[in-house]
A and B are shown apart, each in its own frame.
Chain A
Amino acid sequence: MSAVEISPAAGTDQEARAEAARTRRNWLLSLPAVILLLFAASGPLVIVLIYSFLTPGDYSGVKWIPTFDAWTSILFSRDIFDDTLRLADAHLTIFWRSASLSLLTTLITFLLGFPTAYFIATRPPRQRGLWLFLITIPFWTNLLIRTFAIMEVIRNEGLLNKLLMMTGLISEPLQILYSDTAVLIGMAYVYLPLMVLPLYAALERFDFRLVEAGYDLYAGRWMVLRKVILPLVKPGIVAGSILVFMPSLGAYVTPRVLGGGKHMMIGSFIELQFGQGRNWPLGASLSMLLLLIVGIGLFFYVRAMSKEKAHD
């Protein structure tokens, strides 16, 4: 470029044009994916939002009369006689069951998942891959099959009851299936890998010389665990808890199969509105509420992950 003198302005102009061309090319390449997802994943969510502000139709579907009824009926029911609002106990029971079972699932998966992740992280590096693979296989296998498998185990004639009767702990088989306990066992079983994987990621990077330092300073095992290890892998704990809590809250298959018809959680409650309940707007507002809660959870998840990265 020695012969031709290019003004700085022309240079930036050219750069801007190249930049625009690159952006256009990248967008064109991504366009089919964008269209597919807008059509069959993200776009329809807007319709759900709109439906949540409409009036239920006579048999199913909606009437185009705008109202906030679907949102207020999440928590309140209108008295048919004097039109006053009162708390909808049936709904509250379902929300309470969803929230408490999801929290308990998170707690159980943590109590079991932390030692498991710790165990994998303290294996010799060459073995870790295999152990991790053993955790990942159930994670990718069909959720329905895993739910069905745990159902087989906790049935009255199942493996669990057989074992308990053989050891003489019980004489009559325990009726676990179709109860909240069954849903809890099922969700803990199904979501355990989601807890182990992020915990392992955090523990793998943990510097075990810090534990040694703790012992040198006369800390006991419990002290080291509580004051050294747990605080340093906290982002992994937060990430794992959110990864387990969110799908538990929106779970549909596991509560439906293991809980029977009576022990409903939000997921089955939403489905009911589109089936026998025939209240599409209520189903829509419940879906949006679930989405909102998950959105908040996701926000904290992203924050925990960026903190984790900042550690490196």
Chain B
Amino acid sequence: MTDTTAPRPRRKAFSVRTMPGFSSIAIVCFLALYAPIVVIVVYSFNSGNSIALWEGLSLKWYATAWQNDAVQEATIRSVIIAAFASVISTVVATMAALGTTHGGDFRGRTVIYLLINQPLMVPEIVTAVALLIFFSMIRIATGYSGLAYLIAAHAAFCVPFAYLPIRARLEGMDTMLELAAADLYATPWRAFRRVTLPLMAPGIVAGAMLAFVISLDDVIITEFVKAAGQDTLPTYMLGQLRRAITPEVNAISTILLAITVILLTLFFILTRKRSPKA
């Protein structure tokens, strides 16, 4: 017989939504997602030569990375490629978004959609192989072996990433404003410049930032397309990982991570849907 007067062990109220163990697994997942990244960031500030033993706080490895000519060149190259690629892809993506979003369906729109989204669908290794073959043909035919190949390749796979936020912005826009501008005798160009473009601007900036991040982070296509001595930061890192790893790689990773997180946070702020007014 149980004594009903004794205080019963407190039980949590039965909640319809909770599944036993799910929350613990979720928390473990979040920890597992971030722990390795945190380890990298922390050890980038290690003063010792080891990536396993903590010997004290220092910026030594950032200085080492900064004084390494190969790292400097790779950084400059990465930034040049990402800058060109994000500008080119954002310009063509903005035009394409205007062409495919404004005013209903038209013949061939599906073809354009498929082309624009191709880099998201085809495995990167396959595109990399295709570009290796195609660009080596052009290289032999023209003798040119500069950065333009990498810029063209990056610009192409950045298009969908620039296009999607711009299109999302255009779709959420009030077309009445353009009509109002036209009613007020604005020429189409003036209406576009004074009304449509300013309204699109957050989408365009967001698209450009996403394209920049994607270009900056690319490994596979760059690894296949680059000529000798055209390492970007990620391909330089990939080469380093095959040798003995020094905390220098941690420092480079931390900087790349910081750039990504800052740009992404801005991206989310720019594209955040304003909560509807109650």
Contacts and interface: CB of A to CB of B under 8 A. Distances in A.
A122 B123 contact: no
Contacts, number: 248
Interface residues of A, number: 87
A234 B108 CA distance: 33
A34 interface: yes
Contact of A33 (B107, B116, B131, B256): B116
A246 to B, nearest CB: 7
B99 A115 contact: no
B29 A36 contact: no
B243 to A, nearest CB: 12
A221 B121 CA distance: 38
Contacts of A140: 213, 260, 264
Interface string A28-65: 11101110111111111101100100000000000000
Interface in A240-299: 246-247, 249-250, 252-253, 256-257, 267, 270-271, 274, 280, 283-284, 287-288, 290-291, 294, 298
Nearest to B51: A152
B52 A157 contact: yes
Contacts of B159: 33, 36-37
A142 B19 contact: no
A176 to B, nearest CB: 13
Nearest to B115: A37
B134 A47 contact: yes
A150 B133 contact: no
B228 interface: no
B19 A225 contact: yes
A292 to B, nearest CB: 10
A159 interface: yes
B124 interface: yes
Nearest to A145: B253
Nearest to B20: A221
Nearest to B162: A33
A96 interface: no
Contacts of B107: 23
A26 B100 contact: yes
B190 to A, nearest CB: 17
Interface stretch (A6-14, A130-138, A304-312): A130-138
B30 A134 contact: yes
A148 interface: yes
Contacts of B249: 148
Interface stretch (B2-10, B32-40, B55-63, B193-201): B32-40
A208 B19 CA distance: 12
Interface in B72-97: 88-89, 91-93, 95-96
Contact of A36 (B23, B36, B88, B106): B88
Given A36-B152, A37-B159, A115 B22 contact: yes
B129 interface: yes
Nearest to A298: B121
A14 to B, nearest CB: 17
A148 B247 CA distance: 12
Interface residues of B, number: 85
A70 interface: no
Give the interface centre of A44, A140, A208, A298 by most chain B CB atoms within 10 Å.
Answer: A44
B96 A30 contact: yes
Contact of A291 (B22, B43, B109, B122): B122
A32 to B, nearest CB: 4
Interface string B241-254: 10000000100010
Interface of B: 16-23, 25-30, 32-37, 39-40, 43, 51-52, 88-89, 91-93, 95-96, 98-100, 102-103, 106-109, 112, 115-116, 118-119, 121-127, 129-134, 137, 152-153, 155-157, 159, 163, 213, 216-217, 219-220, 224, 234, 237-238, 241, 249, 253, 256-257, 260-261, 264, 268
Given A42-B118, A142-B219, A152-B39, 17 more contacts: A22-B106, A29-B100, A40-B152, A41-B157, A115-B21, A116-B30, A122-B17, A122-B18, A141-B261, A158-B52, A159-B39, A189-B32, A211-B16, A250-B126, A252-B220, A280-B133, A287-B129
Interface of A: 19, 22-23, 25-30, 32-34, 36-45, 47-48, 51, 112-113, 115-116, 118-120, 122, 133-138, 140-146, 148-153, 155, 157-159, 189, 192-193, 196, 208, 211-212, 215, 221, 225, 246-247, 249-250, 252-253, 256-257, 267, 270-271, 274, 280, 283-284, 287-288, 290-291, 294, 298
